[in-house]
Amino acid sequence: MRKTIWILGDQLGPHNAALDGARKKDDVLFLVESGRKLRKLKYHQQRLVLLLSAQRHYAEEMRKAGWTVDYHALGPGVTWATALAAHVKKHRTERVLLTAPNNYDEQQAAMKLAGKFPLEILPTRQFLVPREEFLAWAEGKKSLVMETHYRRVRTEFGFLMQPDGHPVGGRWNFDEENRKTFRDWVKAGHPSAEVRREKPDRITREVMTLVAAEFADHPGKAADFWLPVDRAGALRWLDEFIATRLAGFGPWEDLMVEGDELLFHSVISPLINLGLLAPRECIERAIAAYDKKKAPLPSVEGFVRQIAGWREFINGVYWLKMPDYEKVNGLEAERALPDFFYTGETEMNCLHQCIRQVSATGFNHHIQRLMVLGNFLLLTGVRPPEALRWYLEMYVDAHDWVMAANVLGMVLHADGGFMATKPYAAGSGYISRMSNYCAGCRYQPEVKTGPEACPFNYLYWDFYARHEKRFARNPRVGMALKTLAKKSPAERKAIADSAREFLRGLEKSPQRTQKGG
Ligand SMILES: Cc1cc2nc3c(=O)[nH]c(=O)nc-3n(C[C@H](O)[C@H](O)[C@H](O)COP(=O)(O)OP(=O)(O)OC[C@H]3O[C@@H](n4cnc5c(N)ncnc54)[C@H](O)[C@@H]3O)c2cc1C
Ligand code: SF4
């Protein structure tokens, strides 16, 4: 019996469960470029180039490998439903196999189609931990701790584990060795490593032209696209990271340098999220580098933690909490997203630099997303759906499953602390220690209130003053609340006045409406 293997645009790897047992001479691969999906929001042009070019490369590779490929390109009226109906009719398919979509809305849409077509949905292998296993582990817990989950995953897979069941090096965590400051970086002689840009081939160039024309009013420039788009390119990209940057990953993981934005980061998220890389192979190649003494343990453990720990945890929380997760607003945040998140026009240099970078490349590393941009959104109380939408639109690696818990849980603390026991709130101290942004800023990081003060300083205390009651019973916030309580009435007034003045200025600045892209 002839089968159809339906491959979604973020399932482009050789590890796709729907391909198990498929036969080139009998079966057909089916792929769709869904306009509805690509136009759901005003996505960064480089994200669209990545999605379309990767999918077209996959189809071409499979054709060359001898598969029959039924490819439905972007066009008026092309949706999953219309393309599948045309496909089933043309190929007289009796069975369609699809690996479970990674995003909730797509899973719902696929289930709906399963009522009309002979569609079978298989469990995904794009994560180390199956969805049901995470749900069983999380069942009944009031809050979840990433570290506990991470240790379970490491033990189960034997990643960096000794035969006696203890972690290699005797510790689970090397934070003390990692996360060095900007001053440490200067003292070390500005260590740096080049991240080579990929040269676009014919298919990518065609897609760049298409995106520039069809999505002209979207952020970013398609012409500046810089990432790999196929399996071979993704493996080269990963190996280059392991050979040239993994050793420096740990110590400089949290650093932010104006003019050297990527530092030692892997930038594999856009690729791993499309299935071009499997989480396990990324981890195993990094561990192999440690075994060959090419990278130190703190760097390798730090990298393994990101994938086996954070990535798995974020995905698990998403499937545990959807569909209600996208509606959370635990801190009752009601401010509109300032328009400068799209233009970069702000005098706060740290924000300006991160927004400039993401507009140009579709990428910021984790600390820029969390401790600069996220910190601002949290402290000023921007409405969760608007913050979420911005992140989804601007990043090349953005997908619903990965953004929800990162933005709503980690950044905005909007889920009542379910996945982060305390808000990631910080004054200027963190940014000035970890970056050189403050040197080029019109504000003074050491000034606490008034027009010259860094806004993060008074916004931080204003945030805790606004939420004093809410966090009163949270022991992890105890120190901040005690310090706040010790402030004199005059200090508290100065904080409140500065914050009010700043927030009033934000309200006067242009703001984006919530209309679709
Ligand atoms: C507000 C916010 C939004 C984010 N949005 C995304 C997103 O849309 N897509 C995305 O893949 N990651 C997202 N992240 C997580 C993380 O910032 C990126 O995965 C990372 O910066 C990608 O760069 P890298 O590949 O160089 O990562 P590295 O620092 O080299 O880490 C290696 C890999 O670990 C995984 N990883 C690490 N942290 C996380 C995390 N918190 N959640 C999921 N995976 C993680 C990624 O696959 C990443 O490629 C977000 C984090 C925050 C705080
Ligand atoms: S002074 Fe404040 S606003 Fe300016 S770069 Fe430093 S942290 Fe950012």
How many angstroms is it from 492 CA to the middle of ligand 2?
A: 21
Q: Kindly give the number of the ligand 1 atom that is closest to the alpha carbon of 279.
A: 47
Q: Measure the CA–CA gap between 354 and 358, rounded to whole angstroms.
A: 6
Q: Whose atoms come closest to the Cα of 438: which ligand? A: 2
Strand 28-32 relative to strand 3-6, pairing = parallel
pLDDT digits (tens, 9 = 90+) for 317-334: 999 999 999 999 999 999
pLDDT digits (tens, 9 = 90+) for 198-231: 999 999 999 999 999 999 999 999 999 999 999 9
Q: Coil, helix or strand for 411?
A: helix
**291-306 mean pLDDT:** 97
Question: Does ligand 2 have an atom closer than 6 angstroms to the CB of 438?
Answer: yes
Q: Measure the CA–CA gap between 215 and 197, rounded to whole angstroms.
A: 23
pLDDT for 176 equals 84
Question: Does ligand 1 have an atom closer than 6 angstroms to the CB of 221?
Answer: no
In sign, the C-alpha dihedral spanning 220, 221, 222, 226 is negative
Contact 250, 299 (CB under 8 A): yes
Q: Whose atoms come closest to the Cα of 304: which ligand? A: 1
* pTM across the whole model: 0.96
**363-380 mean pLDDT:** 98
Q: Whose atoms come closest to the Cα of 264: which ligand? A: 1
Q: Measure the CA–CA gap between 353 and 436, rounded to whole angstroms.
A: 11
pLDDT for 515 equals 37
HSE value, Cβ hemisphere, 13 Å, CA-based, for 6: 29
pLDDT for 85 equals 96
pLDDT for 111 equals 96
How many angstroms is it from 496 CA to the middle of ligand 2?
A: 19
Average pLDDT, the chain: 95
Question: Does ligand 1 have an atom closer than 6 angstroms to the CB of 370?
Answer: yes
pLDDT for 278 equals 97
**In the block, residue with structure tokens 């306009």:** 35
Question: Does ligand 1 have an atom closer than 6 angstroms to the CB of 371?
Answer: no
How many angstroms is it from 474 CA to the middle of ligand 1?
A: 27
Report the first-to-last Cα separation within the chain, whole angstroms. Answer: 43
pLDDT digits (tens, 9 = 90+) for 464-507: 999 999 999 998 999 999 999 999 999 999 999 999 999 999 98
**72-84 mean pLDDT:** 94
Question: Does ligand 1 have an atom closer than 6 angstroms to the CB of 394?
Answer: no
**161-166 mean pLDDT:** 96
Q: Whose atoms come closest to the Cα of 358: which ligand? A: 1
Q: Measure the CA–CA gap between 431 and 441, rounded to whole angstroms.
A: 12
pLDDT for 510 equals 59
Question: Of 178, 246, 361, 366, which is best to mutate to test ligand 1, by the most ligand atoms within 8 angstroms of its C-beta?
Answer: 366
Q: Measure the CA–CA gap between 502 and 338, rounded to whole angstroms.
A: 12
Q: Kindly give the number of the ligand 2 atom that is closest to the alpha carbon of 437.
A: 5
pLDDT for 189 equals 97
Q: Which residues contact 169 (CB under 8 A, 6 or more apart)?
A: 160, 297, 301
The backbone torsions φ and ψ at residue 449, rounded to the nearest 5 degrees and listed phi first, read -140, 165
Q: Measure the CA–CA gap between 490 and 186, rounded to whole angstroms.
A: 39
Query: What is the C-alpha radius of gyration for the chain, rounded to an integer number of angstroms?
Result: 24
pLDDT for 43 equals 98
Question: Does ligand 1 have an atom closer than 6 angstroms to the CB of 387?
Answer: no
Q: Which neighbouring-strand residues pair with 335?
A: 382
- The protein residue with its alpha carbon nearest to ligand 2, atom 8, reads 350
For the chain, what is the largest distance between any 2 Cα atoms, rounded to a whole number of angstroms? 80
How many angstroms is it from 367 CA to the middle of ligand 1?
A: 10
Q: State which H helix or E strand residue 32 sits in.
A: strand 28-32
Q: Coil, helix or strand for 256?
A: strand
pLDDT digits (tens, 9 = 90+) for 168-205: 999 999 988 888 999 999 999 999 999 999 999 999 99
Q: Measure the CA–CA gap between 229 and 55, rounded to whole angstroms.
A: 8
**100-104 mean pLDDT:** 97
Question: Does ligand 2 have an atom closer than 6 angstroms to the CB of 353?
Answer: no
- The protein residue with its alpha carbon nearest to ligand 2, atom 2, reads 454
How many angstroms is it from 329 CA to the middle of ligand 2?
A: 27
Q: Measure the CA–CA gap between 333 and 335, rounded to whole angstroms.
A: 6
Q: Measure the CA–CA gap between 220 and 342, rounded to whole angstroms.
A: 10
Q: Measure the CA–CA gap between 202 and 199, rounded to whole angstroms.
A: 10
How many angstroms is it from 399 CA to the middle of ligand 1?
A: 11
pLDDT band at residue 15 using 50, 70 and 90 as cut-offs: confident
pLDDT for 421 equals 87
Type of residue at 99? T
Q: Kindly give the number of the ligand 1 atom that is closest to the alpha carbon of 307.
A: 34
Question: Does ligand 2 have an atom closer than 6 angstroms to the CB of 428?
Answer: yes
Contact 50, 270 (CB under 8 A): yes
Give me 336's structure tokens: 């509109």
How many angstroms is it from 302 CA to the middle of ligand 2?
A: 27
Question: Of 340, 353, 354, 432, which is best to mutate to test ligand 2, by the most ligand atoms within 8 angstroms of its C-beta?
Answer: 432
**341-361 mean pLDDT:** 97
How many angstroms is it from 306 CA to the middle of ligand 1?
A: 8
